[in-house]
Structure 1
Amino acid sequence: MSDALINGVAGAGGGIIAQLITYPLQTVNARQQTERDPSKPAFKDGAVRQMCLVVKHEGWERLYGGLMPSLVGTAASQGVYYYFYQIFRSRAEAAALQRSRRGVGDGSVGMLQSLTVAALSGCVNVLLTNPIWVIVTRMQTHRKASKQQSPLDLTCVLDKTIEADPSKKKTIEAPAVENIPHKTIHAIQDLYKEAGPFGFWKGVVPALIMVSNPAIQFMLYETLLKKLKKRRASNLKGADGLTALEIFLLGAVAKLGATVVTYPLLVVKARLQAKQIIDDDKRHRYKGTLDAITKMIRYEGLSGLYKGMSTKIVQSVFASALLFMIKEELVKGARLLVTGNTSLVKKLPSKSLR
């Protein structure tokens, strides 16, 4: 099994586990990003309060709206990203060694090369998996009818309406809640009817620009990892003796820096991917990335570009740190299964982030 494949599978596994743990925060954050009305709780309440409101009015299941396609998207994204990252990284390392033999450089991959490798991997990932994330955003931002207004209650209301006016029987056949596209297949059909096949690539422009997020994240991670390993080597503890907790903390710090820098693009992407209401205010209908940015700043101020950032920081930093930690452990385990050599697992550094 190639190292690229090992890292791809490990990245998918780590991403799924991190996704399951932090998904309710993702749902709340998507709603905060796409809320336009300043009077709504999304502008005033924190993440915990928002989750409580969702549970109270819509039920626990809405915190996990779109979970299945999200897990598929996470596995695909992480797998694709880490697979191509490892391939591009290996080529960058080979090129660095060639330059070193000619007397140029020390044979290591620098920051610019690391940034380029991460950006290229991110672009491939976005182009292949964007349709999945459009569906996930649609399902996360869909608001279910209040728990108190159950299908049975709606049916009673319809019965009374039909009794008062039998002529409405033909036009009212079932509770409207049954037609809400909260399932994956319905969300896909709804999106296709709204925007056609190109609708599945809504938000792809800010998503492509957003590859700078993991690029910045991996650049920061590589820098911190290199410094820590160098310090460990100088302390005679071994350059590769990093614990899972240390990997967790390095991943958290790297993700925090990347999220703060690129968050406005994430809000714009969510706005473009969320369902557009035909009768909605034109101020809230976006023709593209620049139109969305212009209207958000004009009608909501600069703060509109940072809606829900505190929730996103908590969710993404925690999820990213978990992903790094779990992935490193899975890579070690996979290498042990493939080689059967425990000493090799300890000596070989993980190349997933190189």
Structure 2
Amino acid sequence: MSNAVANGLAGAGGGMIAQIITYPLQTVNTRQQTERVAKKSLANSKRLGTLVQILQVIRSDGWGGLYSGLKPSLLGTAASQGIYYYFYQVFKNKAEAIAVARKAKGHGDGTVGMFSWLLVAALAGSLNVLLTNPIWVLVTRMQTHTQAERKIMEERKEALVKEASENSLTGSELQVKLAELDSIKPHPYGTWQAVNEVYSEAKITGFWKGIVPTLIMVCNPAIQFMIYESSLKHLRAKRADRKQGSKNITALEVFLLGALAKLGATISTYPLLVVKSRLQAKQEIGGNISLRYSGTVDAIRKMIQYEGLPGFYKGMSTKIAQSVFAASVLFMVKEELLKIYTLLADKCNKVLLSSAK
């Protein structure tokens, strides 16, 4: 098995474990990002903590609400991390070979530079985005479905109250109609329902909604891996200079380096993540047509106009907690899986050599 395949499988395994652990935070964060609130309402609204919002989801949707869309999300995570780490390792091997070749010609010190790390991560990220975007469109729809349905029901009730005042309906008649709306049960909503909804709205192109900000966001893992690889290189060099007995990096050190890398990447690219979630969510959220988006530029323009700059940072604290912890777990588990693979591969090679003799 090549090191690229091993890295791909290890990345997929680490990503799935991290996703399961942090998924409730991801669900709440997606709902925070896609909630449309005008500037005045935003200024007057009371900001709820992440824990309070988690409890609200449990109260309204049950425990299952925190894990809505988990199945396609796990599929997406396995595919995304597997594809990303596979191509990352392929491009990394190529970059390292080029660096060694340049050193042989008297150029450089034989190590990969910061710009090369960025390019490697960006190339791997772009391929990952193009191949897995449809899965994340479905996950976003499933995470925000009940939120969208609740908004639609609120709009219907507001329209009914307005109609009642214009047509002089009695209070009892209005209550009957409102009760009829309350008695409507939400339709079952799973993966296939999400697929049908996306396809009915925009055909095949609907599965690549948000692709522009998502492609731009490949700079997120690019920045993340630049920080991670640079920090890892610095730590190993520091140990080599001190002539420490073991140059191996511990699981805790990988965890902390992963957290540092993801924190820097998340803070710098969060506004794009909010735009992407808005485009992928059901456009009925918010009701007003002025808050529905036809594309990336339209979404950015309307968010600035109706919500102001704070709209681009909704749920950022939740995202930092979720993504930093998830990235830390992912890096740690991936490195441990690679160590296990290396040990097993060494044992298999020894067995084969002894049997050959």
- What TM-score do you get using the length of structure 1 for normalisation? 0.85
* 1:52 equivalent among 44, 51, 55: 55
Equivalent position of 1:67 in the other structure: 70
Q: Which amino acid aligns with 2:187?
A: N
Q: How many residues end up aligned between the 2 structures?
A: 315
Residue matched to 2:126: 123
Pairing partner for 1:275 from 269, 274, 282:
282
SS of the residue 1:45 aligns to: coil
Q: Distance in 2 between matches of 1:43 and 1:201?
A: 34
2:75 aligned with 1:84, yes or no?
Answer: no
Structure 2: how far apart are the matches of 1:31 and 1:42?
16
Among candidates 286, 298, 311, match of residue 304 of structure 1 = 311
In the alignment, which residue of structure 2 is the partner of 1:248?
A: 255
Counterpart code for 2:135: I
1:196 match: secondary structure: helix
Q: Structure 1: which amino acid aligns with 2:281?
A: A
SS of equivalent residue, structure 1 residue 179: coil
- Structure 1 residue 176: deviation in Å? 4.4
What letter matches 1:340 in structure 2?
K
Task: Tell me the CA shift for residue 240 of structure 1.
Answer: 3.2
Query: In 2, Cα distance between the equivalents of 1:342 and 1:238?
Result: 27
Q: Equivalent residue for 1:262?
A: 269
Say if 2:33 is the partner of 1:25.
Answer: no
| 1:44 shift after superposition | 1.3
Q: 1:42 to 1:114 in 2, by over 3 A?
A: farther
The CA deviation at 1:278 is 9.0
Matched, 1:338 2:341: no
Mapped to 1, the partners of 2:219 and 2:56 lie a distance apart of 34
Shift in alpha-carbon separation, 1:43–1:5, aligned structure 2, 3 A? farther
- Give the 3 Å change call, closer, same or farther, for CA 317–342 of structure 1 in structure 2: farther
- How far apart in 2 are the matches of 1:57 and 1:187? 20
2:302 aligned to which of 295, 305, 328:
295
Asked if 2 retains the 8 angstrom alpha-carbon contact of 1:229 and 1:239, the reply is no
Moved over 4 A (4+): 38-43
The one-letter code matched in structure 2 to 1:245 is L
> How far does the alpha carbon of each residue in 1:183-204 deviate from its partner, in whole angstroms, 9 at most, with x for none?
1111111111111110000000
CA distance in 1, matches of 2:185, 2:345: 51
Q: Note the alpha carbon deviations across 1:282-326, whole angstroms, 9 max, x for none.
A: 221111111101110111010000000000000000000000000
Taking every aligned residue pair, what percent have the same amino acid on both sides?
60
Deviation of the 1:239 alpha carbon: 6.3
Match of 2:219 among 208, 212, 215: 212
Q: Which amino acid aligns with 2:198?
A: L
Cα distance change, pair 304–324 in 1 and its aligned pair in 2 (3 A): same
Structure 2 SS opposite 1:220: helix
Q: Which has the higher helix share?
A: 2
Deviation at 1:341, TM superposition (A): 7.9
In 2, Cα distance between the equivalents of 1:43 and 1:99? 58
The answer as to whether partners of 2:35 and 2:286 remain within 8 angstroms in 1 is: no
Change (3 A) 1:319 1:296: same
The 2-side partners of 1:225 and 1:107 are apart by: 16
The answer as to 2:104 corresponding to 1:101 is yes
Following TM superposition, by how much is the alpha carbon of 1:235 offset from its aligned partner in structure 2, in angstroms? 2.2
Matches within 5 A, 1:91-240: 91-143=94-146, 176-177=184-185, 179-180=187-188, 182-238=189-245, 240=247
Cα shift readout 1:97-124 (whole Å, capped 9, x = no counterpart) = 1111110001110000000000000000
- Residue by residue over 1:45-101, the C-alpha shift from the partner in whole angstroms, topping out at 9 and shown as x without a partner, is 111010001111210100000000000000000000000000001011111111111
Tell me if structure 2 keeps the 8 A contact 1:32–1:43: no
Q: Output the CA distance in 2 between the equivalents of 1:42 and 1:225.
A: 43
TM-score of the two chains, using structure 2 as the length reference: 0.84
SS at match of 2:74: helix
Alignment RMSD (CA, Å): 2.2
Alpha-carbon separation, structure 1, partners of 2:14 and 2:22: 12
Alpha-carbon spacing, 1:328–1:276, altered in 2? closer, same or farther (3 Å): same
Corresponding residue for residue 13 of structure 2: 13
SS of residue in 2 equivalent to 1:237: coil
CA contact (8 A) 1:31 1:42 kept: no
Instruction: Structure 2: state its 5+ residue gaps.
Output: 151-179, 351-357
Q: In structure 2, what is the Cα distance between the partners aligned to 1:221 and 1:244?
A: 14
- 1:299 aligned partner, one-letter code: Y
8 A contact 2:121–2:222 mirrored in 1? yes
Alignment check: 8 A CA contact 1:32 1:42 kept? no
Q: What 5-or-longer segments of structure 1 have no aligned partner?
A: 147-171, 344-354
Q: CA deviation at 1:37?
A: 2.7
